[in-house]
Structure 1
């Protein structure tokens, strides 16, 4: 079976405290996974390890069949930029930039040009933001901020989207729109991993995992 990514026997420790214990999962093309569990249980830490933002204490993260354990900082940065799209719990938009400019940040970091600018506008239009291209974050609602963050995550056509609480603090209608946009990605053969407390969102994923006391349990579909 071919995976977009695999996590094998990953553990994470901070000093004497063990946050994750022997966590394993695999993500296939076109598949969505949801990870639920109590607050402070290590879900965000696991997502960060999967996305190569943190290093596991033990275990292996395999991306497109390649073990990432031996990669240096430059290669890890390039892999993160080109393989993953991140939707953070807090949108992490730059307040001095417009919505369009915020979406363009990944393209600037990877030195991509006009084609990325066209795609940025197309993505914002797709999410109903065509009238807000030149608005700054402080001029946008929470739902609009989430849409800008999602467009930014999709800009470079990543193979895998990692989303941390993407519908948190949204009203049900806007939460459903954000969920629709995320799950639509899988129809293009991409992969999606969600960390969420939203049972309605988790129920729409192909596979559900529950993280409790550092251990991951596969639950199938809720």
Structure 2
């Protein structure tokens, strides 16, 4: 299988502080990767750089053979809409939209609305939210917000699914629903990258990387990325 993602010598600095140092790995299509490490180790920053939401100080992110550093902001936005799905730690839903409307938003950015409405309803029903379709984010619980965010991320069957602490603050039952959905996406062909403190979740991944003070260290389980 070919690599869907290649991370080459990524460095990230804020002023004189080094956040990430020489991060490199590749990941094949249809694989899952857990990135672990203590708070402040650079996990979320790395995920944001991979997702083209932040720019590295130096290094390259290559997605499906495209060096993203050579793309214009408009081209990067198009690549995000085409290839990437995001599950943010704080959901980042649009407060003025209903749960259902939040889920279908990616279809409008990607200009591919065909079957999006039906797919959104199926996902929300699968997540037990069919009775919350017309509720706005401020009317939803943390677990409901997380499931709406996951449905939004899965809507277009992204080539790469990025999840930042997807089970954080969830009870075990809801955490299992979210975790099972992530790995179902992998089984359906998505490449899944998960930043997590949840060791049980990390152990289910095909591979695992550990960050310590912005550097990759030898993982405490065998890592087979490519």
TM-score (norm 2): 0.94
1:26-60 deviation digits (Å, cap 9, x = unpaired): 12112110011111111111001101111111111
**Which residue of the partner structure matches residue 204 of structure 2?**
204
Q: Could you tell me which runs of 5 or more consecutive residues in structure 2 were left unpaired when the two chains were aligned.
A: none
1:67-106 deviation digits (Å, cap 9, x = unpaired): 1111011100000111000000100112221110010111
**Which residue of the partner structure matches residue 156 of structure 2?**
156
1:3–1:27 Cα contact (<8 Å) kept: yes
2 CA distance for matches of 1:184 and 1:160? 13
2:40–2:213 Cα contact (<8 Å) kept: no
Q: Secondary structure at the match of 1:24?
A: strand
1 CA distance for matches of 2:177 and 2:216? 28
In the alignment of these two chains, the number of paired residues is 222
1:10–1:57 Cα contact (<8 Å) kept: yes
2 CA distance for matches of 1:110 and 1:161? 15
2 CA distance for matches of 1:175 and 1:12? 31
2 CA distance for matches of 1:133 and 1:120? 10
Give the alignment's Cα RMSD to 1 decimal.
1.4
1 CA distance for matches of 2:96 and 2:114? 22
**Which residue of the partner structure matches residue 111 of structure 1?**
111
2 CA distance for matches of 1:160 and 1:142? 24
1:145-190 deviation digits (Å, cap 9, x = unpaired): 1110001011122100000000010011111111000111111111
2 CA distance for matches of 1:97 and 1:79? 25
1:87–1:162 Cα contact (<8 Å) kept: yes
TM-score (norm 1): 0.95
Q: Secondary structure at the match of 2:156?
A: coil
1:205–1:221 Cα contact (<8 Å) kept: no
List, as ranges, runs of 4+ consecutive aligned residues in structure 1 with deviation greater than 3 Å. Answer: none
Q: Post-superposition shift, 1:114? A: 4.8
**Which residue of the partner structure matches residue 214 of structure 2?**
214
Q: Could you tell me which runs of 5 or more consecutive residues in structure 1 were left unpaired when the two chains were aligned.
A: none
**Which residue of the partner structure matches residue 190 of structure 1?**
190
**Which residue of the partner structure matches residue 144 of structure 2?**
144
**Which residue of the partner structure matches residue 39 of structure 2?**
39
